[in-house]
Amino acid sequence: MASSFAPPKLADFILTERLGSGTYATVYKAYRKGDNREVVAVKVVGKKSLNKVSMENLLTEIEILKTVRHPHIVQLKDFQWDSENIYLILEWCSGGDLSRFIHSRRLLPERVARLFLQQIACALQFLHNHNISHLDLKPQNILLSGSVLKLADFGFASYMSPWDEQSALRGSPLYMAPEMVCRRQYDSRVDLWSVGVILYETLFGRAPFASRSYAELAEKIRSDKPIELPAGARVSRNCRDLLLRLLDRDPDTRLTFTQFFSHPWVDLEHMPNAESLGKAKDLVLKAVQKDQEGDRSAALSLYCSALEHFVPAIHYETDRLRKDALRQKVSQYVSRAEELKALVSADNSLCFEQFKSTRDILREMSRDQPRVLAALELASTAIAMEENGIEDHDTLALYQQSLGELLLALAAEAQGRRRELLHGEIKSLMTRAEYLKEQIKVGIAMT
């Protein structure tokens, strides 16, 4: 390995401060010689420290990094070697690693954790599409360049098709999936467990299995006890769902990559990127057109969809003046969406009132149908919650549960007046549920 007392000499670069070191490598900050003085990171691997396995890992790392180009993966600019060392010339990330960032703040707000996870998910989606598994995901291997995260250190990475399995112990114990710690056959799903541990640590300031020794850690990971969030944990329903499904000890019931990439909390469709502003502008033009045509409901929906892209566009913008101008525009759209929300709410209140009497008649006609009565009671509870201003996912879940039962009843109901009323009630509840979805969407877009 390179001497820890002085950095090695490299023809085109001046190596300066040591950033960190591991079993096989030391990383230095460096400047390219010449006029532009480009800043890079140089990973120095001592040839004498490499055995057959670590040499294969290094060659795989170089092969992977030479072929991948992604905004959330550290770029390998070049690699060189001499009689003593192999040098990987890497993109410089000035913000240090995610571990240091978390520890400096103790824990991150859910909003920030989500922005970070979206970037990790975006990189993993790219790797997954190229059958590449990282196998050593941890905060120390995720670097920051401003507010942009980049996956780094592909020393344990491997080409793995979805059906490929391995048994070699790879990665860092605190972030290893149970099937790997237990030395069972494993596949690329171990990366999803690691993502779950990282997310847990960003939200709560520590990994779920913090331990004083490897033996204690291994025992906790091997346990059959389900993962629990810290007492008093305040996270959204979708965040909790994602976290617990990622930290499923059984890889066969753990969230799949497809489910992870499409999960509503990950929401890759609305992550901040170069396309966010263009999508927002297209939607707001359609919203203005519908607004001018007097189609309030459609205009409201389009304004909300536009805001879902405007907010990430603000996060993505780095120029302060453009960011402030964008915020002012968004404020105007939020105000108009609020006005439309009030108008649409008034319109729908009149519409919903008309179904009240028919619901009472249906209830009377369904006294011999306990499941229908129970479903109607659920619907009444949801309506009462909504009318009391509780426009959240719990209310929506009650609507969905009620509709599930009523649709089953409709399928079994013979032709007649009760079927007509049942059909009308389902249409009314579906309208309310869709309206509630829009209100939830408005709330999210405006926060």
* pLDDT above 50: residue 2: no
Q: What is the pLDDT of residue 163?
A: 52
Q: What is the pLDDT of residue 23?
A: 75
Higher confidence at residue 165 or residue 13?
A: 13
Q: What is the per-residue pLDDT across 166-201, written as a single tens digit (0 to 9) for each?
A: 556 566 788 988 888 777 788 889 999 999 999 999
Q: What is the pLDDT of residue 300?
A: 86
Q: What is the pLDDT of residue 121?
A: 97
* pLDDT above 80: residue 298: yes
User: Residue 443 contacts by C-beta under 8 Å, 6 or more apart in sequence?
Assistant: 391
13-91 and 354-445 agree in CATH topology: no
- Band (54; pLDDT cuts 50, 70, 90): confident
Q: What is the per-residue pLDDT across 374-400, written as a single tens digit (0 to 9) for each?
A: 988 898 898 888 878 787 888 888 989
Q: What is the pLDDT of residue 1?
A: 46
Q: What is the pLDDT of residue 326?
A: 92
Percentage of the residues of the chain whose pLDDT score is greater than 70: 92
pTM: 0.76
Residues 95, 97, 98, 102, CA torsion sign: negative
Has 136 been annotated as catalytic?
A: yes
Chain mean pLDDT for the chain: 86
Distance CA 215, CA 231 (A): 25
Q: Which two tokens stand for residue 265?
A: 């909390």
The three-state secondary structure class of 43 is strand
Instruction: Indicate the CATH number of 354-445 among 3.90.70.10, 1.20.58.80, 3.40.50.300, 3.40.47.10.
Output: 1.20.58.80
For residue 17, the 8-state DSSP code is: E
**Residues in binding site for ATP:** 47
Q: What is the pLDDT of residue 417?
A: 84
Fold of the domain spanning 13-91: Phosphorylase Kinase; domain 1 (3.30.200)
Catalytic residue among 12, 78, 82, 136: 136
Q: What is the per-residue pLDDT across 341-375, written as a single tens digit (0 to 9) for each?
A: 778 777 666 555 555 567 777 887 888 888 889 98
258-274: buried (b, 16+ CB within 10 Å) or exposed (e) per residue? Answer: eebbebebbbeebbbbe
Q: What is the per-residue pLDDT across 6-52, written as a single tens digit (0 to 9) for each?
A: 788 888 889 999 988 877 889 999 999 877 789 999 999 988 888 88
CATH class of 98-265: mainly alpha
Distance CA 168, CA 183 (A): 7
Cα dihedral angle (445, 264, 190, 207), rounded to 10 degrees?
50
Residues 404-419, mean pLDDT to the nearest whole number: 88
CB 69 within 8 A of CB 48: no
Q: What is the per-residue pLDDT across 94-120, written as a single tens digit (0 to 9) for each?
A: 999 999 999 998 889 998 999 999 999
**Residues in binding site:** 47
Residues 230-246, mean pLDDT to the nearest whole number: 90
- Band (136; pLDDT cuts 50, 70, 90): very high
The domain limits of the chain are 13-91, 98-265, 276-351, 354-445
Residues 64-74, mean pLDDT to the nearest whole number: 93
- Band (3; pLDDT cuts 50, 70, 90): very low
Q: What is the pLDDT of residue 342?
A: 79
Q: What is the pLDDT of residue 4?
A: 52
Percentage of the residues of the chain whose pLDDT score is greater than 90: 38
CB 302 within 8 A of CB 286: yes
Q: What is the pLDDT of residue 140?
A: 94
* pLDDT above 70: residue 339: yes
* pLDDT above 60: residue 446: no
Q: What is the pLDDT of residue 278?
A: 94
* pLDDT above 80: residue 162: no
Architecture of the domain delimited by 276-351: Up-down Bundle (1.20)
The three-state secondary structure class of 441 is helix
